[in-house]
């Protein structure tokens, strides 16, 4: 079992780190979430049913850990700075504005109903193909594409309503 997880870590850690970094925009936080993801995967390996790829399973765990992090940060009424330093260059005000906008977009995404939220997340953040998304849901590739399009339209409407577009 230990050897299997070493192989899984070697095979998926780089892609998973990139995925997490895109979610949070902070290298140290991405490393922490990566380690937490691997630990959670190792301790809950029995719950993996094989209905999706290992990569998709790991990305789902990482995404949920990221959401947990956001909820904890929000419940502490912490500033955007506590979520982590951004990799982008610029003034402090720009960093906060960008971080707050990104955080608000993630909140809006979290407000989307299923399966739109999950399909959008798998397509944009995990960079899965529609065929892979379809396998996760046991649906057709066309269903995955249409659902992604609808999710994107709903998110755009929410962004316009919030004045972010």
Contact by Cβ (8 Å): 24, 68: no
Note the pLDDT tens digit of each residue in 133-160: 888 889 998 898 889 888 888 888 887 8
Residue 75: predicted pLDDT: 60
More reliable by pLDDT, 91 or 27: 27
| DSSP state string for 16-81 | HHHHHHHHH--HHHHHHHHHHHHHHHHHTGGG--SSS-HHHHHHHHHHHHHHHHHHHHHHTT--GG
The model's pTM = 0.48
Note the pLDDT tens digit of each residue in 106-134: 788 888 899 998 888 888 777 788 888 88
Residue 78: predicted pLDDT: 39
165 — pLDDT class (breaks 50, 70, 90): low
């Amino acid at each position: 079992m230990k050897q299997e997880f070493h192989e899984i870590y070697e095979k998926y850690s780089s892609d998973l780190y990139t995925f997490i970094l895109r979610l949070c925009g902070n290298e140290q936080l991405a490393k922490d979430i990566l380690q937490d993801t691997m630990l959670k995967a190792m301790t809950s390996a029995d719950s993996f049913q094989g209905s999706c790829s290992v990569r998709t399973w790991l990305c789902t765990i990482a995404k949920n850990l990221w959401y947990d992090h956001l909820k904890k940060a929000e419940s502490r009424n912490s500033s955007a700075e506590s979520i982590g330093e951004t990799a982008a260059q610029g003034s402090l005000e720009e960093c906060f504005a960008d971080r707050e906008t990104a955080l608000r977009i993630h909140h809006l995404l979290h407000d989307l109903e299923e399966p739109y939220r999950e399909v959008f997340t798998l397509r944009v953040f995990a960079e899965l193909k529609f065929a892979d998304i379809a396998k996760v849901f046991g649906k057709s590739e066309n269903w995955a594409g249409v659902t992604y399009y609808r999710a994107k339209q709903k998110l755009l409407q929410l962004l316009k309503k919030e004045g972010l577009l």
